[in-house]
Amino acid sequence: MKALLVNPWICDFAAYDLWLKPYGLLRAGTVLRDWGWSIDLVDFLDRRDPELPAYLSRPLPRNEPFGRGKFPKVPVEKPKAVAAVERPYFRYGLPRELARKRLGEKARPDLILLGTTMTYWYPGYFQTLKLAGEFFPGVPVILGGLYPRLCPVHARARSGAEIVLTGGGRGELAAAIAGLGFPPPPPPDGDEVVPAYDLLRDRSALAVRTGLGCPHACSYCAAPLLEPELRRRKPETVAAEVAGYRDRYGTTDIAFYDNALLFDSGNHLDRILGLLIRSGVGLRFHTPNGLHARFLTARTAELMKETGFVEPRLSLESAGEDRQERTGGKVSNRDLVRALGLLEAAGFQRREVIVYLMIGLPGQALKEAERDIRFVNSLGASVSLAAYSPIPGTPDYLRLVREGEIPEDLDPVWQNNTVFPARRGLFPLEAIRGLRELAGRLNRELVKTDRMTPADR
Ligand code: SF4
């Protein structure tokens, strides 16, 4: 039996490849393989497809350091729900003709598995499903990932997939496969499922998770809904996986996808990094999800420096102490000041540390957002702004529904953080642009100040 894994297009106002790997989809691929299926992949987000330049009317976006970069894109029509938003809308990934070619090269599978992440990218998922359906009519599709888990009603009603996985986990996949009439898979064996990265063309940068869950429950975050239990993998297993990518694939960059990488680091991350030091490291590490400043210890900061963490990212979200408390109390300004001190003492430059702040939070005024940016800048760290968007099922989402700010069945395209804060004019797009410009200018000034000699200052 053959399964074709499909990593779909993204449709959005903006998208960037910050170590965006089809992690869940490739894990599902490993599970299928263990059950005796042969698996193949069509990756519509493959920025390294060798034929891309021939299919693009503009030069291919440059690759940026450490395996990040811009996706090629084409303008597409906006979904009706956001038609009035005055920003262009794009489909990111392989141009349609190249995507068609890649699908056409594949043998007809018995099953298609489509993986998803952001809920508001669903127009890209649907376009991918439609195209795959043209090539392989009658082949059943299983839709998995975050979108159907967070928006099950929408995904069931609108996607057209035969099976929509709303729970996650191998048991649900096994039931879906049996339900489609394939031989029922054997019961799960062990807990360790690593992604089938052998299917990716470009393995220079890969994503790894050392565990699931988070000990906090922030009011805007879906992690407590999706992974209510904190579970850590064995440090030895994680270190062997990471070293294996380096040795087998020549991987140079690893992005940790954990929600709580630093939690109990003495028993977890420190041990992983210690084992990697013994194996010779030779990698760079990235933390796109943002680290908990409160959990950072001096020892962990030293190990992070020694093992090659680059531009460590810390999550502050807001510098307003009331707001920090109200949203879950995961971090305080004192925690951030302390963590920056530890990272600096370990050898990181302050401006190299990136601090995430959220803008457009419910009830947040523009002045508050500006104050937060200036606060982080005053500590010498760089700012990265993430616009707030409501995630279904989170306490903040439910409150917005209760208060009549959003309908319960808000179209998922409005869960897009590029446009949600601008909804009803509360945080206009120009204001967000202005905040981004302010953060960019202050970040650049940090670099300039760093390059000045003491006499210049
Ligand atoms: S600490 Fe981070 S991962 Fe955990 S609930 Fe809060 S935002 Fe989510």
* Residue 457, pLDDT above cutoff 50: no
In this structure, the residues whose C-beta lies within 6 A of any atom of ligand 1 are 214, 216-218, 221, 223-224, 259, 328, 330
Measured from the Cα of 224, ligand 1's closest atom is: 5
Mean pLDDT of 309-319: 97
Output the CA 60–ligand 1 centroid distance in Å. 35
Q: pLDDT over 90 for what percent of the chain?
A: 84
Taking each helix axis from N to C end, the angle separating 366-378 and 429-451, rounded to the nearest 10 degrees, works out to 10
Q: pLDDT over 70 for what percent of the chain?
A: 97
pLDDT at 425: 67
Measured from the Cα of 328, ligand 1's closest atom is: 6
Q: Which residue's CA is minimally distant from atom 3 of ligand 1? A: 259
Measured from the Cα of 214, ligand 1's closest atom is: 4
Count CB neighbours of 231 within 10 A: 9
Output the CA 214–ligand 1 centroid distance in Å. 6
- Hey, what are 146's tokens? 């975050």
- Residue 157: burial class (beta carbons within 10 Å; 0-12, 13-18, 19+): exposed
Query: What does the pLDDT look like over 107-133, one tens digit per residue?
Result: 999 999 999 999 999 999 999 999 999
pLDDT at 449: 74
Tell me the pLDDT band of 47, cut-offs 50, 70 and 90.
very high
In our burial notation (b when 16+ CB lie closer than 10 A, e otherwise), range 333-372 reads: bebbeebbebbbebebeebbbbbbbbbbbbebebeebbeb
- β-bridge mates for residue 374, sequence order: none
- Hey, what are 44's tokens? 């519509």
pLDDT at 277: 97
> Of 330, 335, 391, which is best to mutate to test ligand 1, by the most ligand atoms within 8 angstroms of its C-beta?
330
Count CB neighbours of 388 within 10 A: 19
Which CA distances in Å does 204 have to 15, 31, 177, 284, 287?
20, 23, 33, 11, 16
Output the CA 291–ligand 1 centroid distance in Å. 9
> Of 209, 216, 262, which is best to mutate to test ligand 1, by the most ligand atoms within 8 angstroms of its C-beta?
216
In our burial notation (b when 16+ CB lie closer than 10 A, e otherwise), range 283-300 reads: bbbbbbbbbbbbbbeebb
> Of 259, 324, 388, 417, which is best to mutate to test ligand 1, by the most ligand atoms within 8 angstroms of its C-beta?
259
Structural domains of the chain in order of their starting residue, each with its CATH number: 2-179 (3.40.50.280), 201-456 (3.20.20.70)
> Of 214, 325, 357, which is best to mutate to test ligand 1, by the most ligand atoms within 8 angstroms of its C-beta?
214
Q: Which of 122-136, 233-247, 425-439 has the lowest mean pLDDT?
A: 425-439
- β-bridge mates for residue 313, sequence order: 354
Distance CA 57, CA 98 (A): 13
Tell me the pLDDT band of 402, cut-offs 50, 70 and 90.
very high
pLDDT at 452: 58
- Three-class SS of residue 376? helix
Mean pLDDT of 338-348: 98
0.75 surpassed by pTM: yes
pLDDT at 38: 98
Q: Which of 47-61, 411-425, 443-457 has the lowest mean pLDDT?
A: 443-457
Output the CA 257–ligand 1 centroid distance in Å. 12
* Residue 454, pLDDT above cutoff 70: no
Mean pLDDT of 246-256: 97
Mean pLDDT of 388-413: 92
Contact between 258 and 209 (Cβ < 8 Å)? yes
Measured from the Cα of 221, ligand 1's closest atom is: 8
Strands (E) in 108-246, as ranges, are 111-116, 141-145, 163-164, 205-208, 211-212, 231-232
Closest-CA residue to 151 (of 177, 120, 172, 178): 120
Count CB neighbours of 124 within 10 A: 24
Identify the top-confidence range among 230-239, 362-371, 406-415. Answer: 230-239
Q: Which residue's CA is minimally distant from atom 6 of ligand 1? A: 218
- Mean of all residue pLDDT scores within the chain: 94
Tell me the pLDDT band of 60, cut-offs 50, 70 and 90.
confident
pLDDT at 424: 64
Measured from the Cα of 315, ligand 1's closest atom is: 2
Distance CA 168, CA 151 (A): 13
* Residue 363, pLDDT above cutoff 90: no
